[in-house]
Chains A and B, each alone.
Chain A
Amino acid sequence: MDGMHDLGGRQGFGAVRYRPDARAFHEAWEVRVNSLYAFAVRRGIFNMDEYRHAIERMEPRHYLTASYYERSLTSLATLLVEKGILTREELERRAQGLFPLAAPSAPGRSNVPARERFQPGDRVRVRDDYVPGHVRMPGYIRGKTGVVVSESPAYPFPDAHAHALAAQDEPTYDVRFRSEDLWPQSADAALVHVGVFQSYLERAT
């Protein structure tokens, strides 16, 4: 889905609020949320792709205004309800207030049937795919051409894995793009490397 989470290259944001001694957690509940979702993953209640997708399904205004760990909490609660472990009513009764959850999921998809194996140095194009469910192709590379640098071990295909669909594991390719190709005349010069699943790629002609 072309969701609010897909931020790479979006404009209008200000300076990074950077401090060399910045912390991962600021409040005790943040550590607890992090541990609770890790616990659920460890117990096999949901996988990391389902977890990421439930964050992406948050209503965009909620997504943008929630803190990082509130997004984590919303994903955890959404999946526990969707998996039938808890109900929203119980959560709201216990919390004594509303407990906003993410929106329902749209269908996922399995691997693209015609996938090609690539070698380092091959020129590849990111397919012009628009999918309603989970996808790990950042929008800024859609339709763009880059060069394969290396291949990673096969991973579960996220577009299926986030939706509990059967799919084959497939390799991801480290694809190198030039920032000038991604945002012509509108980017600082750099090489941008993206881990791209095989299903998202076709050979560039």
Chain B
Amino acid sequence: MPDQNPVIQRTAPVERRVDAIQQALDERGMNATDAVEELTELAEEHWIPQNGARVVARAWVDPEFRRRLLANGRAAVAELGLSMPKHHRHLVVLENTPAVQNVICCTQCSCTAFTIIGLPPDWYKDLEYRARVVRESRTVLKEMGLDLAPDVEIRVWDTTADTRYMVLPEQPPETIGWSEEKLAGIVTRDSMIGVARL
């Protein structure tokens, strides 16, 4: 009988693969575990859609801020204490109107203005959304619950460079006169991606 190879030739479970990297980096003195703790807190507590919601609410109540936001998104969000990674050199804010619906995607990976509108949800990164939204925009939006009138123009923005996008949804008419804080509470992540209206 030939010798049996004692090595189990199977792919290691994904968690053990993550552990392997983290431990190997730690043993080289790179303090990966400390960095993971810090970056995890950023991902879970700081890179959240409530940031973008504050931006939208401010734009609704302050026409001068809205103008600055549309002219230079990166500088305008900094006024609210919000920052973007160095390599995101430009934030383009896309204004919805009754006649225009903007929707963002990344067909090649999952790029988003994640420090502003939050890390992207699972479906944004799935193959289905990436493959279909550029080509079957109206159909996909309808399947996702946004049934646009035929005369609404759809503009799809594929995030292929390091310029980042966010959608500025329309303010619902019944919320005119609300406080900025209350307005921020109705702005959803998906309205800033552009797959939902408010």
Interface residues of A (CB under 8 A from B): 5-11, 13-20, 22-26, 29, 31-36, 38-39, 42-43, 47-48, 52, 55-56, 64, 67-70, 73, 76-77, 80, 85-86, 90-92, 94-100, 136-138, 140, 150, 152-153, 155, 158, 172, 174, 179, 182-183, 186-197
From A55, A183, A194, B158 is in contact (CB under 8 Å) with: A194
Q: What 0/1 pattern do residues 11 to 42 of B give for CB contact below 8 A with A?
A: 11111111111111100101010011011100
| CB of A186, distance to nearest CB on chain B (Å) | 8
CA A32 – CA B138 in complex, angstroms? Answer: 36
Q: Assuming A5-B108, A36-B32, A94-B19, is B89 touching A155 (CB within 8 A)?
A: yes
| CB of A176, distance to nearest CB on chain B (Å) | 8
| CB of B29, distance to nearest CB on chain A (Å) | 12
- A195 pairs with B131, CB closer than 8 A: no
From A64, A76, A179, A196, B160 is in contact (CB under 8 Å) with: A196
Report how many residues on chain B are interfacial, defined by Cβ distance under 8 Å. 76
Q: Assuming A39-B32, A193-B156, is B162 touching A48 (CB within 8 A)?
A: yes
Closest 5 CB pairs of A and B: A97-B12, A8-B107, A195-B161, A95-B12, A35-B39
Assess whether B82 is interfacial by the CB under 8 Å rule.
Answer: no
Task: List the one stretch of B60-68, B140-148, B169-177, B178-186 in contact with chain A.
Answer: B140-148
Q: Enumerate chain B residues within 8 angstroms of A70, measured Cβ to Cβ.
A: 14
Choose among B127, B188, B196 the residue with the greatest number of A CB atoms under 10 Å from its CB.
B127
Assess whether B46 is interfacial by the CB under 8 Å rule.
Answer: no
Choose among A158, A190, A196, A197 the residue with the greatest number of B CB atoms under 10 Å from its CB.
A190
CA A202 – CA B92 in complex, angstroms? Answer: 24
| CB of A191, distance to nearest CB on chain B (Å) | 5
CA A34 – CA B157 in complex, angstroms? Answer: 24
CA A73 – CA B11 in complex, angstroms? Answer: 13
Q: What 0/1 pattern do residues 123 to 153 of B give for CB contact below 8 A with A?
A: 1011111111111111110011100000001
Assess whether B159 is interfacial by the CB under 8 Å rule.
Answer: yes
| CB of B49, distance to nearest CB on chain A (Å) | 10
CA A62 – CA B68 in complex, angstroms? Answer: 45
Q: Enumerate chain B residues within 8 angstroms of A47, measured Cβ to Cβ.
A: 87
Q: Enumerate chain B residues within 8 angstroms of A33, measured Cβ to Cβ.
A: 18
Q: Enumerate chain A residues within 8 angstroms of B107, measured Cβ to Cβ.
A: 6-9, 138, 140
Interchain pairs with CB closer than 8 A, number: 245
Q: Enumerate chain A residues within 8 angstroms of B75, measured Cβ to Cβ.
A: none
- B28 pairs with A85, CB closer than 8 A: yes
| CB of A201, distance to nearest CB on chain B (Å) | 12
CA A7 – CA B133 in complex, angstroms? Answer: 10
- A32 pairs with B24, CB closer than 8 A: no
- A8 pairs with B137, CB closer than 8 A: no
Assess whether B84 is interfacial by the CB under 8 Å rule.
Answer: no
- A16 pairs with B123, CB closer than 8 A: yes
- A16 pairs with B163, CB closer than 8 A: no
From A26, A67, A68, B110 is in contact (CB under 8 Å) with: A68
Q: Enumerate chain B residues within 8 angstroms of A197, measured Cβ to Cβ.
A: 161
From A5, A9, A183, A195, B159 is in contact (CB under 8 Å) with: A195
Chain B residue nearest to A97 in the complex (CB): B12
CA A86 – CA B134 in complex, angstroms? Answer: 39
From B43, B138, B143, A189 is in contact (CB under 8 Å) with: B138
From A24, A64, A152, B119 is in contact (CB under 8 Å) with: A24
| CB of A133, distance to nearest CB on chain B (Å) | 14
Q: Assuming A80-B21, A138-B158, is B138 touching A190 (CB within 8 A)?
A: yes
